[in-house]
A and B are shown apart, each in its own frame.
Chain A
Amino acid sequence: MFYHLTILMIIYSITCIGLNIVVGYTGFFSFARAAFFGIGAYTSALLVMSGVPFLIAIIAGGILAAIFGWILGLITVEMTGDYFALATFAFAEMTRQVFINWTGLTRGPLGLPGIPRPEIFGFRFSTNQAYLFLYIILLILVLLITEMYVKSPFGRLLKTIREDETAAQSLGKDIAKTKNIAIAMGAFFGGVGGALYAHYITYIDPSAFVLHITIFFLIIVIAGGMGNNYGTILGAVMLVLVRELPRYLGLSPAFAASLQQMVYSSILVILMLVRPRGLLGERKLLSEQSSEEGGK
């Protein structure tokens, strides 16, 4: 149980660090996470099942997700706020409909059973301990890359866009391209997270990539603190505990499922009332006032 929960925390952390780049650092409310998660999961699972090595497959999953992220970014980059949220939501639902209806590739609602467990240079990660070890290394890798990225001038530009787009533009920065890269990079980690999920659970079907999972990821990012990668990890730890523990209380599965949903949706509302920027969220920045004014 300990290993299972920790592995889930790591998978969700990796996915949500990607989401944090878009939501936390750039300030765009993306509802497309489940789509990238699903694209990564299906790509990697199908590749490994047709004989491609594990490491190449998860990277391919990430890259395909990033390509979709790039295209989505090209289309949505000029939209703001609610429109961006809605467009990404529509994209996610369309992707899910493809998972359901492209039965030749994904087997539709039947799902893909028997996805092989990871294997690197002939070593098969079959026990949960080995898994945990592998996934921790990957998490550290993702964290290092992302931290490097957000601390670079590029990361500062992202925050500037979030705080005041016009100001960033007046400094001669290419806003559209910057946002687009952020979305694609976020999508990449989403895809990798999805791939890791597929190889851990060993079974995926379209119902694993519904809007609820996107909301769950968003809560992780928001609860932990937008624009803070350690906050995201904290969020993943908390939310996995909230979501998975009712399963061990001996309730009926249907009741436990709606109880989980009830608990984390209440947490979301309460958190917004108490700490709208999350537990480890950034302090108020200069333009907070003006963005509030404009939002009305």
Chain B
Amino acid sequence: MDYYSQVILNSIITGGIYGLIAVGYSMIYSILRFVNFSHGFVAMMGMYFTYALSVQLQLPFFIAAAGGIVLTAFLGMIIERVAYRPLRFSFYLAPLVAVVGVAFFLESVALMVWGGGILSYDVKTTSFNISGLYITNVQIGILITLLLSVILLYYLIEKTTIGQAIRATADDIKMASLVGINSNRIVVIVFMLGSALAAVGGTFLGLETNLQPTIGLSVTAKSFAAVILGGFGNIYGGLVGGLVLGFAENLGVTVLPTVWKDFIAFGVLFIVIYFKPSGLLAKRQERGGRYR
């Protein structure tokens, strides 16, 4: 029983991290109907920004993480400006292709600056034993920050004017512009917010595992899987999807050899796209995200 409660705890932590990254992803998707392929790579950059500030510049970890998040938000803004906005009314494949380019550009930057080796944050971990359940101080910190981020995000989206504008734009971008919402500004805000959430998730991933430039792709794939699982059109769907994914991954390892873990993850993604393209929490059926 202890073994399984440990697995459940780990599932909540990994699932929560995926979920947080996925929320940023589904925000961008819900407004633009556009798969931001670079999202996982942005999370990876956030991870390394925090590393640069905390390890290389020797700042205290919390300040470094906050700095990393802000830097990543600006990175999101730049990506929107350079590779997304000019292409919004271009050939329909152009934004997707451009963002793939951005993704691999970011990866090459990380490879050049920080090298391809495995790095880790310089954070001291102490382990607590709560009646047979092992939890580290880092994990407690992650859980608290996760909870705070979700509450803050909920407040921002549901209770503020900006949140209202974001929801209106997500419902119908043209109608929103018609009532005087500056949709370009909303898109920038969403990109920045989404990237900031990605940076939080990326930093947590770095704390939980380690730092590697090549992690971007799997983060992109997993957060997209989480978004699909949770359902498009629902900003919090990604959070639920992330938790489901976290449980699937951690429980899967208890019954199957670890080497097939990624195979299972992508298999699940494939099956979900096929059987339930609109997600588990979808409001309405929308088969296969048609362009027309």
- Residues of A at the B interface (CB closer than 8 Å) are 27, 29, 75-76, 78-87, 89-91, 93-94, 97-98, 100-101, 165-166, 211-212, 215, 218, 222, 254-255, 257-259, 261-262, 264-269, 272-273, 276-277, 288, 290-292, 294-296
By a CB distance below 8 angstroms, the chain A residues around B83 are: 269, 272-273
Measured CB to CB, the closest approach of chain A to B140, in angstroms, equals 34
- A166–B291 alpha-carbon span in the complex (Å): 12
A292 touches B115 (CB 8 A): no
Work out how many contacts link A and B, with CB atoms closer than 8 A. 155
A80 in contact with B266 given A87-B274, A215-B104, A218-B97 (CB within 8 Å): no
Partner of A90, one of B94, B97, B269, B292: B269
Can you list 14 pairs linking A and B with CB atoms under 8 Å apart?
Answer: A81-B291, A82-B34, A86-B269, A90-B266, A94-B270, A97-B263, A101-B263, A261-B105, A261-B108, A265-B100, A269-B82, A291-B291, A291-B292, A295-B92
How many chain B residues have a CB neighbour from A under 8 Å? 54
- A278–B100 alpha-carbon span in the complex (Å): 16
A79 touches B260 (CB 8 A): no
- A27–B94 alpha-carbon span in the complex (Å): 12
- A86–B265 alpha-carbon span in the complex (Å): 13
Q: B224 on the interface (CB 8 Å rule)?
A: yes
B288 touches A80 (CB 8 A): yes
A276 touches B104 (CB 8 A): no
Measured CB to CB, the closest approach of chain A to B170, in angstroms, equals 13
A276 in contact with B111 given A97-B260, A266-B105 (CB within 8 Å): no
B108 touches A83 (CB 8 A): no
B224 touches A268 (CB 8 A): no
- A93–B224 alpha-carbon span in the complex (Å): 14
Beyond the given A78-B288, A81-B290, A276-B91, could you list 8 further A-B residue pairs with CB under 8 A, ordered by the A residue number?
A89-B221, A93-B266, A261-B107, A269-B98, A269-B101, A273-B83, A288-B91, A294-B291
CB-based nearest A residue for B259? A101
